[in-house]
Amino acid sequence: MPELPDITIYREALDARIRGHALERIRIINPFLLRTAVPPITDAERKRVLAVRQLGKRIILSLEDDLFLILHLMVAGRLRWLAKVAKPPGRITLATFEFANGTLAFTEAGTRRRASLHCVRGAAAVAAFDMGGLDPFDSDVAAFAERLRLENHTLKRALTDPRLFSGIGNAYSDEILHRAKLSPLTLTSKLDAGEIGRLHDATRNVLLEWTNRLRAETGDGFPEKVTAFRPEMAVHGKFGQPCPVCGAPVQRIVYAENECNYCARCQNGGVILADRALSRLLHKSWPKSIDALE
């Protein structure tokens, strides 16, 4: 799922291309994408784009007449900028937004239709989509600590909860926790002031570094390789590969449709966390430490 750094780069690329331009035509190719009926989506046609904003993992196109288009990419949704004469990708295109200088294609890979588009009127309607998460860049360590302690969760769950923090998902939470040298299963209530400060710094630094990295990679172009799995990442998607800090093999915990990647030595004192499925299967053969595994 595109997270804060990816959404920021999308926003900047869109702002450079469509702010001040009229949205000439909207084509809804897959009807399941559009989740609102009032106001009708056609009301947004021929309206000028006043601003491109982001709200958590959502992208918001602010239009004339107090209209807003809210795009949520979810897991497999992506945006593509096409030349005016270019044909949008075949079966994966859900909608297109046509401008005088090009066309924005909203695509989604796979068969599960999770991506969404809402057309709403008024700031109050937009505010209803705000989950309340704290912006990692606009919070000092005191506000960050207060938010962490609102509920007693594991750090992995807390960082990825949009009611607590805005824009952080599975990939960057792995990278943040590795940078902070904290176990993903540590409870928020167990953190001391030093650990919270370390986590606060890691959150801001990891997100800023990756935003700058993606910005430099994109340049004046449009983001094309938006993925949660990047070779430069330390632990996310790196199961079995050496940790860039200590060289120990990266471990994982598999749950539902996601997995949590971490370094047992850097983040958990060398202890391997139990995988809900695999550790039950192996039972007594499950290695308790990274040294036993090696």
**Per-residue pLDDT tens digits for 125-171:** 999 999 999 999 989 999 999 999 999 999 999 999 999 999 999 99
What is the predicted pLDDT for the residue at 285? 41
End-to-end CA gap in the chain:
33
Whether the Cβ atoms of residue 105 and residue 88 lie closer than 8 Å to each other = yes
| pLDDT tens sequence across 33-81 | 999 999 999 999 999 999 999 999 999 999 999 999 999 999 999 999 9
Alpha carbon distance 283, 164 (integer Å): 35
The mean predicted confidence, pLDDT, of the chain is: 93
Could you tell me what percent of the chain has a pLDDT over 90?
A: 87
Residue 164 to residues 145, 167, 189, 283, Cα–Cα distance (Å): 11, 10, 15, 35
Residue range 136-293 in CATH 3.30.70.100: no
- Within its chain, how far is the Cα of 191 from the centroid? 25
> Using CA atoms, how far apart are residues 51 and 66, in angstroms rounded to an integer?
11
Tens digits of per-residue pLDDT, 255-278? 777 889 999 999 999 999 987 554
Which is nearest to 153 in space by CA: 109, 186, 179, 201? 186
Burial of 50 (0-12, 13-18, 19+ CB in 10 A): middle
Nearest Cα residue to 123 out of 181, 74, 60: 60
241 pLDDT exceeds 90?
Answer: yes
Are 29 and 94 contacting, i.e. CB atoms less than 8 angstroms apart? yes
Q: Residue 243, CB half-sphere, CA atoms under 13 Å: how many? A: 22
What pTM was computed for the model? 0.92
Fold of 4-127: N-terminal domain of MutM-like DNA repair proteins (3.20.190)
pLDDT above 90 (res 1): no
Split at pLDDT 50, 70, 90, the class of 248 is: very high
What per-residue confidence (pLDDT) applies to 290? 60
pLDDT for position 281: 39
User: Would the pLDDT of 282 be above 80?
Assistant: no
CA-to-CA distance for 267 and 264, rounded, in angstroms? 5
Give me the residue spans of the domains in the chain.
Answer: 4-127, 136-293
